[in-house]
Amino acid sequence: MQRATENKIILVVRRTRLDDLIVRFNTLAQAQFYVEHLGADFSDYLQEHENYQKAVTTAESQLQKLGRVQTLDRDFLPNFIFAEQDTVVVLGQDGLVANTVKYLNGQQIVGVNPDPQRWEGVLLPFQVGDLSTVIPDVFAQRCPIKEVTMAKATLNNKQTLYGVNDLFIGRKSHASALYQVQIGQREEQHSSSGIIISTGLGSTGWFKSLVAGATGITQALIEDGELVAVDPNTGRLSNNYDGRFSWDANYLHFTVREPFPSA
């Protein structure tokens, strides 16, 4: 059977919770004892593992009909060199997709939900059964593409960090510390547990939760008409801003986590 491409398809997978427990406790029986000792349902671990392994097998089978497939465990992502023309298929939750994006440089990535009954995903628009039609469309450039902007931080020792969702600036312990935050001509002294800097992709997660929490506190005032939220995308007053902005936006948003005014 003629392949649709000679370029590689990289299938990124991960270990299940059961895999991690067996690595930790050496045997299935000891893993079961640990889970049941905590009062959890071990059958749920077994079902999740079975569903994921079936999804991996099905994905590999479908992709092998389309091109050369290399299955890559997430643990090897930091040291793996992706070719420019590789197509990357990620089989897992949103976090695995976001983690994979950090190691790419323009390659197309397809997020696949291995267990839709168990997980929802902002970054998982496809299911395993869609691969036989989606991947040929990707090769033929018929699929709509969303570009993602990453955040880059440069440390004073010249090291750089990339964030697909967020960058957290603060103490490892997340304990509060004194900060001076300056942006442009504005500066503020305060005590907080850190600063969260979010990309457009990250604005659907941690940043959105922070905005939702702040909005919840002030919701009564908004409903009374005494307070409105400001949408930074438009600079206009709005009472329905939820923090989300475009994945390919050329700017970042930041918020101070648990701020407390400090002289």
E strand or H helix at 45, and its extent?
helix 42-64
Q: Which of 48-57, 103-112, 180-189, 219-228 is predicted least confidently?
A: 219-228
Q: Where are the domains of the chain?
A: 8-139, 151-261
- Cα angle 124, 127, 129 (rounded to 5 degrees) comes to 160
Would the pLDDT of 191 be above 60?
A: yes
Q: Which of 18-22, 58-62, 221-225 is predicted least confidently?
A: 221-225
CB-based contacts of 246, cutoff 8 Å, min separation 6: 200
Return phi, psi of residue 130, to 5°.
-85, -15
DSSP, collapsed to helix, strand or coil, labels residue 43 as helix
- Among 139, 164, 136, 161, smallest CA distance to 150 is for 164
Would the pLDDT of 225 be above 80?
A: no
Judging by beta carbons within 10 Å of its beta carbon (0-12, 13-18, 19+), is residue 95 exposed, middle or buried?
A: middle
Give the pLDDT of residue 127: 95
The CATH class of 151-261 is mainly beta
CA–chain centroid gap for 99, Å, is 6
- Cα angle 9, 13, 16 (rounded to 5 degrees) comes to 165
Mean pLDDT of the chain: 86
- Among 142, 141, 149, 110, smallest CA distance to 126 is for 110
Cβ neighbour number for residue 51 with a 10 Å cutoff:
16
Concatenated DSSP letters of 102-149: TT-SS-EEEEEES-TTT---TT--EEGGGHHHHHHHHHTT-S-----P
Average pLDDT of 101-118?
Answer: 92
Gap between the Cα atoms of 254 and 108, Å rounded: 28
CATH architecture of 8-139: 3-Layer(aba) Sandwich (3.40)
pLDDT digits (tens, 9 = 90+) for 86-109: 999 999 998 899 899 989 988 999
Give the pLDDT of residue 6: 74
